[in-house]
């Protein structure tokens, strides 16, 4: 997987702006990479690129699923807080995901529940003061 270099948050926003028009309702963004790699920052940039309010975006902790008003709407899950794929059922993920773009941080923890969706795999990492993102498009 080739990786893009994102030297700063402005680069992350530019990446999100380029990706946003290619996303459609029912797509799932599988976001992986270590703590601080920029997963939540990328979700915030996507909400902005899709016409929503980026200030609404925060890591889903107490509320395990966030919904953002943008076009299409987005849902945001941090699977670090879940014990496994079965937890997605309790959040009503399937119903919500059909009409939205879903962003799932630490997606590997719930990978078994995501196989049937149109998945984008986005792997972020630290690189100096910036970040990298490797992109695997849906088949
Ligand atoms: N492309 C980037 N270059 C430099 N710093 C970034 C970049 N993207 C995000 N950051 C910074 O990384 C920190 C952690 O970002 P966050 O999105 O919360 O990571 P994660 O959700 O992966 O834990 C934040 O301080 C953010 O400003
Ligand atoms: Mg995060």
For the entire predicted model, the pTM comes to: 0.97
Residue-wise pLDDT tens digits, 91-109 = 999 999 999 999 999 999 9
Domains of the chain as residue ranges with CATH = 3-136 (3.40.50.300)
58 alpha carbon to ligand 2 midpoint, in Å? 8
Ligand 1 pocket test target in 32, 38, 46, 131 with most atoms within 8 Å of CB: 38
- Tell me the CA distances in angstroms from 121 to 52, 61, 64, 129, 133, one per residue in order: 22, 22, 21, 23, 10
11 alpha carbon to ligand 1 midpoint, in Å? 11
Name which of 79, 77, 56, 55 is nearest 68 in CA terms. Answer: 56
Give residue 134's region: left, alpha or beta (phi > 0; psi -120 to 50).
beta
Confidence grade of residue 62 (pLDDT, cut at 50, 70, 90): confident
Residues contacting 77, CB < 8 A, separation 6+? 60, 64, 65, 66, 88, 91, 93, 102, 103, 104, 105
pLDDT at 63 > cutoff 80: yes
């Amino acid at each position: 997987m080739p990786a893009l270099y994102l030297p700063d948050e402005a680069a992350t926003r530019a990446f999100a702006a380029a990706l946003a028009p290619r996303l459609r309702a029912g797509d799932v963004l599988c976001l992986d990479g270590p703590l601080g790699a920029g997963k939540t920052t990328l979700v915030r940039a996507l909400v902005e690129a899709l016409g929503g309010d980026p200030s609404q975006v925060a890591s889903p902790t107490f509320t395990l699923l966030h919904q953002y008003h943008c076009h299409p709407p987005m849902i945001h899950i941090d699977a670090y807080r879940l014990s496994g794929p079965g937890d997605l059922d309790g959040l009503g993920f399937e119903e919500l995901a059909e009409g939205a773009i879903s962003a799932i941080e630490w997606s590997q923890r719930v990978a078994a529940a995501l196989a049937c969706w149109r998945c984008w795999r986005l792997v972020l990492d630290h690189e100096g003061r910036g970040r990298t993102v490797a992109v695997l498009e849906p088949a």
